[in-house]
């Protein structure tokens, strides 16, 4: 039986099976409360990604199931497609999603900021992905460069890792993870119920970092983008745009005004 967070180094070959159809091949990465594996779908022969959360008595399996069903209804290029979800015999929730070929935005930013046009494009693509989620009442709650894959065209930037996702307005936490402090809205850090404007704040942090190479408030964004960034990062929640679609439209206007 596989145990999430087992500490296997990246690339370690393993021979475990999840569910009836997924053969784990190797560990791709591990985080504080989960591990992601490259796996083979025996039903289709395709490569998939399997994320296994550490066992946590605070996890409500019924909420995980409801949220996974909601994610399965999302059909947007910027959202990794959910294939299956369930729990291991040890009670660890797992999610199976499509395997994406590309580079993590976090790795790209390690070399410095993106060109202005690329920064706006990436943020706009993720804003559209968030808009699709928000339209279904889903709040990602962990938008950050490490959860954005830069896929080749026509796919573009794609949002992954829904281990912290929640239903807007819900009062309970789905998983032990609440998000990542450097990209977390103040009200999220305070334990408030999921709200799309939490993702808007996090996207503001990502846009700022794409433009400057630094997390806010370090660095300086272009003057014409400063008002939008200030709205995205507003501590006063009502000042922020209401959802990802609003942000996507605002970024489209900015891109359209560029020479």
The answer to whether residues 195 and 240 touch, using CB atoms and an 8 Å cutoff, is no
Given 41, 54, 142, 161, which residue is catalytic? 142
Where do we find the tokens 């279904």? Answer: 136
3-state SS string for 119-187? HHHHHHHHHHHHHHHHHCCEECCCCCHHHEEECCCCCCEEECCCCCCEECCCCCCCCCCCCCHHHCCHH
pLDDT at 170: 60
pLDDT at 62: 72
pLDDT band, residue 163 (cuts 50/70/90): low
Q: For 204-219, what is the mean pLDDT?
A: 96
Residue 217 has pLDDT above 80, yes or no: yes
What backbone torsions phi and psi does residue 142 show, to the nearest 5 degrees?
-150, 45
Pairing assessment for the beta strands 93-98 and 148-150 based on DSSP bridges: unpaired
Its CATH class, for the domain covering 103-257, is mainly alpha
Q: For 161-168, what is the mean pLDDT?
A: 69
Give yes or no for a cis peptide into 217 (omega within 30° of 0).
yes
Other CB atoms within a 10 A radius of the CB of residue 10 amount to 10
**The domain 13-98 belongs to what CATH superfamily?**
Phosphorylase Kinase; domain 1 (3.30.200.20)
Question: Residue ranges per domain, the chain?
Answer: 13-98, 103-257
Asked about 236 being catalytic, the answer comes back as no
Report pLDDT digits (tens) over 5-24: 333 444 444 448 888 899 99
Residue 175 has pLDDT above 80, yes or no: no
Residue 68 has pLDDT above 60, yes or no: yes
pLDDT at 32: 63
Of the ranges 44-58, 106-120, 147-161, the best mean pLDDT one: 106-120
pLDDT at 235: 97
């Amino acid at each position: 039986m596989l145990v999430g967070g087992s500490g296997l180094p990246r690339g370690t070959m393993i021979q475990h099976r999840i569910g009836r159809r997924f053969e784990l091949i190797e560990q791709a990465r591990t985080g504080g409360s989960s591990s992601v594996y490259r796996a083979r779908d025996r039903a289709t022969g395709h490569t998939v990604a399997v994320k296994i959360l550490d066992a946590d008595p605070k996890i409500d399996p019924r909420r995980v199931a409801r949220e996974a069903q909601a994610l399965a209804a999302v059909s947007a290029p910027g959202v990794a497609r959910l294939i299956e979800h369930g729990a291991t015999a040890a009670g660890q929730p797992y999610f199976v999603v499509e395997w994406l070929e590309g580079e993590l935005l976090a790795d790209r930013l390690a070399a410095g900021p993106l060109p202005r046009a690329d920064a706006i494009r990436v943020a706009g693509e993720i804003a559209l992905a968030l808009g699709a989620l928000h339209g279904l009442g889903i709040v990602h709650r962990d938008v950050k460069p490490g959860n954005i894959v830069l896929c080749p065209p026509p796919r573009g930037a794609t949002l992954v890792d829904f281990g912290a996702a929640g239903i807007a307005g819900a009062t309970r936490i789905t998983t032990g993870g609440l998000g990542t402090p450097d990209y977390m809205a103040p009200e999220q850090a305070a334990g408030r119920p999921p709200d799309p404007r939490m993702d808007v704040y996090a996207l503001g942090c990502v846009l700022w970092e794409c433009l400057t190479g630094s997390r806010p408030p370090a660095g300086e964004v272009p003057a014409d983008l400063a008002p939008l960034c200030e709205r995205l990062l507003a501590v006063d929640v009502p000042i922020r745009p209401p959802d990802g679609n609003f942000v996507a439209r605002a970024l489209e206007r900015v891109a359209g005004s560029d020479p």
